[in-house]
């Protein structure tokens, strides 16, 4: 089982209730989700900020990652994962993303 801690710090201008972070558009209160992963089916995890998700769907990111890394279990070097993350960021910028663009690709 994998538990993901989704944490958003965000822009100060979106924190209009500093004493009640749960009411803000962006909050530092984490969202936690626990998911059962199938090691045969779930090969990679992509963690990215909103500038990536503004211009890509989950499926599109999956196509990019599978196209670069394949869709079977294999050992992947950290530098290769870093290159794929960079490719995602560059493609988001090419699509005109105007927000922060950061991506991390993790081999599971």
pLDDT in tens, 75-108: 899 999 999 999 999 999 999 999 989 999 999 8
Say how far apart CA 9 and CA 48 lie, in whole Å.
14
The length of the chain is: 108
Q: Which residue did the predictor score with more confidence, 29 or 66?
A: 66
Torsion of CA 89, 94, 100, 102, to 10 degrees: 0
Say how far apart CA 79 and CA 16 lie, in whole Å.
40
Tens of pLDDT, residues 27-60: 666 677 888 888 888 899 999 998 999 999 999 9
Report pTM: 0.76
Residue ranges per structural domain of the chain: 1-36, 39-108
């Amino acid at each position: 089982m994998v538990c993901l801690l989704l944490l958003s710090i965000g822009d100060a201008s979106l924190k209009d209730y500093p004493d009640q972070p749960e009411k803000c558009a962006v909050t530092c209160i984490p969202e936690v989700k626990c998911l059962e992963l199938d090691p045969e089916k779930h090969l990679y995890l992509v963690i990215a900020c909103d500038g990536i998700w503004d211009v890509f769907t989950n499926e599109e990111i999956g196509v990019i990652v599978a196209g670069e890394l394949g869709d079977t279990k294999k050992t992947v070097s950290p530098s290769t994962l870093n290159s794929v993350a960079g490719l995602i960021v560059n493609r988001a910028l090419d699509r005109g993303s105007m927000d922060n663009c950061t991506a991390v690709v993790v081999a599971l």
